[in-house]
Amino acid sequence: MRALPFLLAAAAALGGCAHATAPALRGAGDDATIVGGSHAAEIDGQRDIVVTLANPVVPPGAHAASNILGYGIGSGYRNGQRAMSVLAELKQRYALREIAGWPIVPLGVYCAVLRPAPGVDRDVLLEALSRDERVRIAEPLHEYDLYARPSAAAVRYNDPYVGLQHGLADIDAASAQRTSRGKGVDVALVDTGVDLAHPDLKGRIRGTYNLVDGDAAAFNADRHGTEIAGVIAAVGDNHEGIVGVAPEATLSVYKACWHSAAPAYARCNTFTLAKALAAIVDAGPRIVNLSLGGPPDPLLEQLLEALLRQDRIVVAAMPPSGRVEGFPAATSGVIVVRSAQAEAAPAGVVDAPGTDILTTQPNGRYDFASGSSLAAAHVSGIAALLLALSPELDADGVRRILRRSAAGGGNGLVNAAAAVAALSAPGPGRARASTAP
């Protein structure tokens, strides 16, 4: 068989505490078995597959050298011998080449990205693997899009721009910020990288985890993540540009997506998103912003359900189709956000500003962008305002407050000031805190 290129990037490893405040960009770590290569963007989404196998492991005691994922080889975890033997048998029987593999401890599985031999029909192979009793999941390596685009009339300015932030005004965020600014709340941003040197994001980035590659320059030059970061948590009162919905919240940036040759377009895949979600399961952010989406994916859905069971508040962007479908929007418990439109939103979906939103851009710049990605970021910001006031709030409580405080009796635009006021309002309008242990 002709040799194929070896591809893929390792996950981020963080020395010391999983909640370190240093925003140092992290590169490849030791939590994954990497079979050569260095760049997740080079995975062949049209050929590669994802397979998971039972992999029971016993975690070691925590210690200062544990990494962010909590199951790196350096922290004492080892790939189960049974899983490794089964994987070797599968590779031989089905003529598969392993591109990368890593244990996902929260799910008790070993996950491998595999490449079929040339000429093999991928659908036929997946059907055969799905019937193999040793395999838990066999699926294509799916690709996902980020739901944002530059506005048609994009303009770059040179002075403070709060007066141009119609999204901030539309949700009455300035009034809400008299009571809460999101202090002490960390939001997990699963996206591209972020411009860490941007003057409106300095001090707002708690940690950075690169699950795509080791390219720090590309991380800082990524547009989409920088846009979402600015909407959520751009610094206020610093004489620079704009202010975020929750200007005292912090962001933990998990780069699972990357920009292609066209900088306005970005993508992710099953591998990188699974790495990010597994990392967050073992980390502390209560809010998870997913301004992205694509086809259903059983592995990603299991990881997302694990987060929801931990009472994380997951905010997802509405797909461009206008239907609640695919990953992550269709997962029960996720708060789905649509870019506000004239007609009422579908049941269970909330509206937020998503058209011509002025926000941060790489290289210290500002520009307009549109899409449900930006709408989701507004809602993540409001969730941070609420949790800063009432940390015991659960996801259902946040969802009820968002809908009841929206204009038009729950069928209109979310309102940050009304949501914050609802926390202190007596009677049935007040959301209940979680009673779960």
Q: Which residues are catalytic?
A: 191, 224, 373
Tokens of 262: 């066209």
Q: Are 291 and 312 in contact (CB under 8 A)?
A: no
Q: Are 218 and 226 in contact (CB under 8 A)?
A: no
End-to-end CA distance of the chain: 55
**In Å, how far from its chain's centre is CA 291?**
7
Distances from the Cα of 389 to the Cα of 134, 204, 218, 398, angstroms: 48, 19, 36, 12
Which of 7, 47, 14, 41 has the alpha carbon at shortest distance from 28? 14
d(CA 377, CA 231) in angstroms, rounded, equals 6
Distances from the Cα of 51 to the Cα of 159, 186, 297, 398, 406, angstroms: 51, 32, 12, 35, 43
Instruction: Give me the phi and psi of 175, to 5 degrees please.
Output: -65, -40
Q: Are 112 and 89 in contact (CB under 8 A)?
A: no
d(CA 301, CA 307) in angstroms, rounded, equals 10
Q: Are 10 and 34 in contact (CB under 8 A)?
A: yes
Amino acid identity, residue 55?
Answer: N
Q: Are 189 and 254 in contact (CB under 8 A)?
A: yes
d(CA 194, CA 175) in angstroms, rounded, equals 28
